[in-house]
């Protein structure tokens, strides 16, 4: 089900427009704040936290005067993604940036994982990337411009015990990024991914204080990264020369 909220005074076709999935909190919200501060109009979605997303949209509209469209739904549902992309184009006229950020984790032995759990994590983490990228690409190709960025993980590079499904999804995203980067390079549309290490978000708040300290000690930088640091990195990538494409950029404080 789609729940759209429109925070707008008037349409500003001068501003660039970005779609960000999984934007109600954590890395997605931090990227939304970063792009809003740089004048981007935004089209944001989340799966369950519609009130939180609406509050973020109100905050960004008031602080920066940009327009924000909000949607609630499952990124793994192609028709939800299609509605969101179509409405974003109808409202703003163009999509300059796609940030595929939505994702969930699953910790446990593969032998204990149910087919339903597998299908759910694949739908959100990997199929969602396909859905939104497939839908925005024709518009970007027609305009001969656009930027696509996935928020991935170091586990997509090396794998993690007890996170087989999550690692498989992120590894798939990394391969997807490398292949699509080659496919879209002639159209001047860079496709890249940031492979994040340990970021101080809700996804990593399952650790107690002792576990957090032990994990931080394993990282040469000596700490977790903040979501704002990932957002700064994301902005650097989407504003880099379009010769930077097909890259998986590791952002882990030297950890892996």
CATH number, residue 211: 3.40.50.720
- Total structural domains within the chain: 1
In sequence order, what are the residues at sequence separation of 6 or more whose Cβ sits closer than 8 angstroms to the Cβ of residue 113?
Answer: 106, 164, 165
List the chain pLDDT tens, one digit each, 256 residues. Answer: 455 666 543 334 468 999 999 999 999 999 999 999 999 999 999 999 999 999 999 999 999 999 999 999 999 999 999 999 999 999 999 999 999 999 999 999 999 999 999 999 999 999 999 999 999 999 999 999 999 999 999 999 999 999 999 999 999 999 999 999 999 999 999 999 999 999 998 877 777 889 899 999 999 999 999 999 999 999 999 999 999 999 999 999 999 9
Quick one: how far is CA 235 from the chain centroid?
12
In a domain? residue 221? yes
pLDDT of residue 7: 55
pLDDT score, position 66: 98
Q: Say whether 243 is catalytic.
A: no
Query: Which pLDDT belongs to residue 114?
Result: 98
Residue 42 located in a structural domain: yes
Catalytic, out of 64, 166, 235, 243: 166
Residue 105 lies in a domain: yes
Q: Which two tokens stand for residue 195?
A: 């492979």
Q: What is the pLDDT of residue 157?
A: 97
255: nearest Cα among 119, 158, 146: 158
Residue 256 maps to a domain = no
Q: What is the domain extent for residue 51? A: 5-251
Give pLDDT, residue 2: 54
Q: Specify if 206 maps to a domain.
A: yes
């Amino acid at each position: 089900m789609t729940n759209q909220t429109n925070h707008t005074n008037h349409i500003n076709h001068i501003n660039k427009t970005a779609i960000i999935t999984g934007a109600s909190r954590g890395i997605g919200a931090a990227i939304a704040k970063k792009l809003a501060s740089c004048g981007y109009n935004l089209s944001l979605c989340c799966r369950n936290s519609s009130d939180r997303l609406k509050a973020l949209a109100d905050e960004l509209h008031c602080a920066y005067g940009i327009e924000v469209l909000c949607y609630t739904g499952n990124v793994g549902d192609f028709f939800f993604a299609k509605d969101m992309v179509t409405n974003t184009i109808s409202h703003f006229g163009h999509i300059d940036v796609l940030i595929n950020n939505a994702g969930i984790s699953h910790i446990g032995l593969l032998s204990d994982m149910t087919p339903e759990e597998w299908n759910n994590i694949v739908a959100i983490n990997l199929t969602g990337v396909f859905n939104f990228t497939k839908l925005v690409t024709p518009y970007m190709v027609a305009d001969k411009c656009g930027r696509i960025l996935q928020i991935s993980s170091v586990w997509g590079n090396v794998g993690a015990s007890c996170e087989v499904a999550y690692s498989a999804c992120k590894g798939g995203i990394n391969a997807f990024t490398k292949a699509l980067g080659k496919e879209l390079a002639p159209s001047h549309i860079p496709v890249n991914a940031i492979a994040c290490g340990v970021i101080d978000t809700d996804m990593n708040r399952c650790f107690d204080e002792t576990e957090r300290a032990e994990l931080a000690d394993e990282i040469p930088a000596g700490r977790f990264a903040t979501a704002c640091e990932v957002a700064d990195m994301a902005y650097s990538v989407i504003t880099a020369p379009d010769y930077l494409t097909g890259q998986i950029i590791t952002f882990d404080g030297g950890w892996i």
